[in-house]
Amino acid sequence: RPRYCILADLDREGEQVMRLTKTLYTFFLFTACLNSVSAQVTYQRIANSADEPNNWLTYNGSYMSQRHSLLDQIDKTNIDDLELKWVLQNQVFGAWQSNPIVVDGIMYITERPNSVMAVDALTGRVFWKFEHTPDERARVCCGANNRGVAILNDKLYMGTLDARLIALDRVNGKLLWNAEVGDVGLAYSVTMAPLAVKDKILVGVGGGELGIRGYVAAYDANTGREVWKTFTIPGPGELNHDSWEGDDWKHGGAPVWITGSYDVSQNLTFWGVGNPGPDWNAGQRPGDNLYSDSVIALDADTGKLEWYFQFTPNDGYDYDAVQVPVLADIEWNGSSKKVMMWANRNGYFYVLDRVSGECLLGKAYVRVNWSSGLDENCRPIPTPQPEGMPTYPGNQGATNWYPPSYSPRTGLFYFSAWEDYATIYFSEEQEYEPGRAFLGGGFSVLAPAPDAPTIGIGRTNPINNWTDEVGHASLKAMNPNTGEEVWEFEQFDVSDSGMLTTASDLLITGGREGYFHVLDARNGALLYYRNLGGQIVMAPVTFMTNGKQYISIISGNSLFTYGLKD
């Protein structure tokens, strides 16, 4: 047998040869294969994930969150030989925003609301499934989404919609421990894939539209004991507490609901922080409202805040900064620089010094009118629009949470942008009520004429049944040294898809129309496409099993896996 057990071959003979029930046969086969080929996923393996590009060990592929793979078997010369290998149907109706991880031929992926599956990455066969039923009091802003798991040693970790952190045995899916992260009765939740660092599991909390006080917390990977907690809104006596007035800080939002990044050399972990609350009434909470709409750098051992940078002070537009912090070491003014690249929801592209938090570059990448520009410290210069006039970009932002990619080969940063999209806001005073939406107003989307339909596909928010419609999308390739667009790939509809780049200079992504796209990462030329029939939201991943490279991407309610023809 090759290094990886060929499950498909054994399956054809299994019941005759082993004379076991199919359930027992599958479990024994999975356990034997896993134990024979898969070492524990240690912290050192994750830190050195570039040494094993056959795997996809974290939510964003590595601690640097570049979503760049060193695999190059699939390239421009053979892309036409790409074909569908298997499809895994989601067993739960609704948007599937999960990102799989792949370890030595086994794929681990979550389903709504809080299930984990172990899947044969070669065939799509499900080995086991763990289901957690959230507390009936669980309340989330924008869908019952779970975006994935973390792995460390012999355990898997999942956050839940009722604000728990769960540890599972990776071989059999058995529950090992279940720890409380937040008070489900006060609308705390966890929708992100956790981040495993050293001997700790890090998670942040959702609930920014529901009056929470956000934080990032670390838990002992073996026991589930809380090790540290860092609030994203400073309390009395803490630095920058005066950026809030009165008791506004108690229910000021600032959630953390997308997985952060980690710099091994600095032992710093970086997290994007969401909007302040109430969302659309900035006048009700005077001040900068730190650390909402910011990136925060925390010591991974203690949770101590080392630095922060705020993108949108006193945000009244829901421009939460829960984008992925993409880390890279690049040439900057003639010398090597440790940077963080960030296409923000507010319409500006930033490059930060990730050692100090200094803003090196800030530049608009779509139409922006809420600000007339950035000052010398990259602080926006506000230009609020008169009531009834459109604000660009609109409420969903110029981009959002879907993961970008950076290719060290091309030196370009890739992300989805929403173009020509505006919103008309209104604000109103609102008192906080536990567990209830805390919005302070609302919005309508700019249409070409009164009562005319807007272009795009609407999405309804379960809190107050608003629907947002949008203009069109473009995939942008940015030069981080200049903030200039190098090329763009336009799409008819907006895109919620993330990005993946490879060592063969491929850029792999998708769109709301259901198209799976493979582009030339250097010039944006379309090399390959297939319509998979459902909206593509999460980013693709790539991995290698049995000496062959595969690409997995979720479209609608199905996960499709492609590889080269045999």
Helix (H) / strand (E) element for 28: namely helix 22-37
Of the candidates 372, 350, 315, the one whose C-alpha atom is nearest the C-alpha of residue 482 is: 350
Distance (Å) of CA 163 to CA 133, 320, 330: 12, 20, 38
Q: Are strands 155-159 and 164-169 parallel, antiparallel or unpaired?
A: antiparallel
Helix (H) / strand (E) element for 348: namely strand 348-353
Which of 263, 279, 318, 493 is an active site residue? Answer: 318
Q: Per residue in 322-350, is it b (16+ CB within 10 Å) or e — as a string?
A: bbbbbbbebebeeeebbbbbbbbbbbbbb
Q: Per residue in 32-66, is it b (16+ CB within 10 Å) or e — as a string?
A: ebbeebbeebebebbbebeebbbbbbbbbbbbbbb
Residue whose structure tokens are 């809104």: 233
* Residue 217 phi, psi (nearest 5): -135, 150
Q: Are strands 215-220 and 326-332 parallel, antiparallel or unpaired?
A: unpaired
CA gyration radius for the chain?
23
Q: Is 318 a catalytic residue?
A: yes
Cβ(248)–Cβ(281) below 8 Å = no
Of the candidates 396, 393, 394, 357, the one whose C-alpha atom is nearest the C-alpha of residue 377 is: 357
Cβ(396)–Cβ(454) below 8 Å = no
SS3 string of 194-252?
CEEECCEEEEECECCCCCCECEEEEEECCCCCEEEEEECCCCCCCCCHHHCCCCHHHHC
The C-alpha atoms of residue 417 and residue 345 are separated, in whole angstroms, by 9
Active-site residues, by number, are: 318
